Chains A and B, each alone.
Chain A
Amino acid sequence: MTPNDYDTDKEHAAASADKVLDHTRLQLSALIDGELPLDEARFLLRRLEHDTELRDCWERWQLCGDVLRGRIGIYAQDALTQRIAQAVESEPVVPRAPVARHRWLRLGSGAALAASVAMIALFLTRQSPEVRAPASTLPAQVASNPVLAPVQPAKVTPDPQVPGQAAEVASALAVADVPRRLATRRSRGQSQRAALRSPARIAVEAPVAVAAAPFGTPAATIDPFSGQHVRLPNRPWPRAVLPTVPANGAFTVDYGSRMGAPAQPLSPFESRHLARPLPAPESGSTDSNAPAP
């Protein structure tokens, strides 16, 4: 290696060192302007904490910006900087931020509250289909009966023979049911307004609502598809198709008359005497809500 080569290497090394320094100062310039990517900014901030020359440069460039922007500033000499640094170092308590943890706690409690509200809302909305369950099960039961099957999905035509009471019950059920089915996300007020302004929809939906009518009411005796009066057969429970359980056994519950006797409403608060004979039928007494004997 000649002396010339050595000098050239030194120049190259100095030039590359200058390049690194220039690159660092270029990054510092971008950092001051808030234009440095986050990962590079973190790296440079870490370096700034240990590089005195770079920190001095940071200070001068900040002061230069203040002067250019016309902000009043007095150059506070290095002595003041050192005094403040020493005073900070001598502080016994390092400031910690309880704020961040509290913020997470606040967020966590908010999320827990939102989750609990969502659970309650889910629970309440889950209850609605259960209330309407008979509407979906009754046609299936009717279809399984050989007397009425097969049931044709006939076009709905209002029957002039339908009694007024049944029509009222059907309308009331339809009013309650139509808005909820059509717009499950509507508010209660919107649903009520929708029900009031849609009589045509009510007329169309009425037969379906009839199918959803509770047992024991006159509406239950209307065929949901044809609108004609039909006499529903006894639906003993457990079903007669179960070979081990007799259809007219002591544990059988029905919703109509059995063997010519009126229906006995099932009261959960009174014990049933299984061996007691059925009371004599009374003419015109079909009220299923009559008190149990």
Chain B
Amino acid sequence: MAEVESSQVTQERELDHELVRRVQQGDSKAFDLLVRKYQHRIVGLIGRYLADWSECQDVAQETFLRAYRAIGNFRGDAQFYTWLHRIAVNTAKNHLVSHNRRPPTDDIDIDDAEQFASGMRLRDNDTPERELMRQQLEQTVMRAVEALPEELRVAITLREVDGLSYEEIAKKMDCPIGTVRSRIFRAREAIDQEMRPLMESSNDTSTERASR
């Protein structure tokens, strides 16, 4: 299992480093891809330090700006998200100190920060709205996965949950790699069909609030 996880981590790391390399060469659009990839996790992490949604967004923006300013010094020794996680934690704590609030004494570990089951103390900061949004998102995705045909469901689960490579999935499912690629793609398309309305309605709601 460790080997499987390391394989997935390596693939993710290579893609991130390619994007970072592009940003370091002056391509700011590549940084937008990194933002879109990690902003939900970063907002979720900062939301465990700050209750206010507006503050949360400000700190998330500050986090990405700091990362952008310092990305020239990123050497690729660690994963990009590990580096970004550290910046987010420091920015959130600095924000609390600057507003005369006491930051938590113990930091959120990167593994704990990504699991629903742990870190219950800091999750108390979650507002009902955020919690509802998260639950809706999770239920939508799980429902979409449950509705998939079996071969698509198995393929997407082996890839996203177990972290297997296409070659390993092809061996497990006894089919060509091209078929695995196609099945995972079709599974994502089907899940995306369910996710898109939820996200669009969320965007509309936030736009309405901003216009008021």
Contact = CB atoms under 8 A, between A and B. Distances in A.
B160 A69 contact: yes
Interface string A134-171: 00000000000000000000000000000000000000
A107 to B, nearest CB: 14
B199 interface: yes
Contacts of B199: 60, 75
A280 interface: no
A57 B192 CA distance: 8
A97 B15 contact: no
Interface centre among A48, A68, A84 (most CB of B within 10 A): A84
Contacts of B151: none
A251 interface: no
A62 B24 contact: no
Nearest to B180: A35
Contact of A80 (B23, B57, B157, B184): B57
Contact of A97 (B25, B43, B65, B141): B25
Q: Interface residue tally of chain A, by bracket?
A: 35 or more
A122 interface: no
Interface string B30-63: 1111011101110111011000000001001100
Interface of A is mostly: helix
Given A26-B182, A29-B185, A78 B203 contact: yes
A62 B15 CA distance: 13
B32 A88 contact: yes
A88 B60 contact: no
A77 B32 contact: no
A19 to B, nearest CB: 13
Q: Interface residue tally of chain B, by bracket?
A: 35 or more
A11 B106 CA distance: 61
A86 to B, nearest CB: 9
Interface string B125-140: 0000010011001100
A45 interface: yes
Contacts of A83: 57, 61
Given A35-B166, A77-B203, A61 B192 contact: yes
Contacts of A33: 11, 159, 165-166, 184
Nearest to B12: A34
A102 to B, nearest CB: 9
A230 B161 CA distance: 90
B39 A25 contact: no
A249 interface: no
A76 B43 contact: yes
Nearest to B65: A87
Contact of B40 (A55, A63, A84, A85): A63
A33 B156 CA distance: 11
A236 to B, nearest CB: 71
A49 B72 contact: no
B137 A75 contact: yes
A31 interface: yes
B41 A59 contact: no
Contact of A45 (B19, B24, B189, B207): B19
Nearest to B22: A45
Contacts of B24: 95-97, 99-100
Contacts of A89: 28
A75 B202 contact: yes
B18 A41 contact: yes
A210 to B, nearest CB: 62
Given A48-B33, A61-B188, A35 B11 contact: yes
A30 interface: yes
A26 B37 CA distance: 18
Nearest to B76: A99
Contact of A94 (B11, B26, B64, B133): B26
Nearest to A80: B57
B181 interface: yes
Contacts of B134: 72-75
5 A-B pairs closest in CB distance: A34-B11, A97-B24, A49-B29, A73-B40, A95-B72
Interface of B: 8, 10-12, 14-15, 18-19, 21-33, 35-37, 39-41, 43-45, 47-48, 57, 60-61, 64-65, 68-75, 113-116, 119, 130, 133-134, 137-138, 141, 145, 156-157, 159-161, 165-166, 181-182, 184-185, 188-189, 191-192, 195-196, 199, 202-203, 206-207, 210
Given A73-B134, A97-B25, 13 more contacts: A26-B181, A33-B159, A41-B15, A49-B33, A57-B192, A59-B36, A67-B137, A69-B114, A72-B48, A75-B134, A87-B61, A88-B32, A93-B69
Interface of A: 25-26, 29-35, 41, 45, 48-50, 55, 57-81, 83-85, 87-89, 91, 93-100
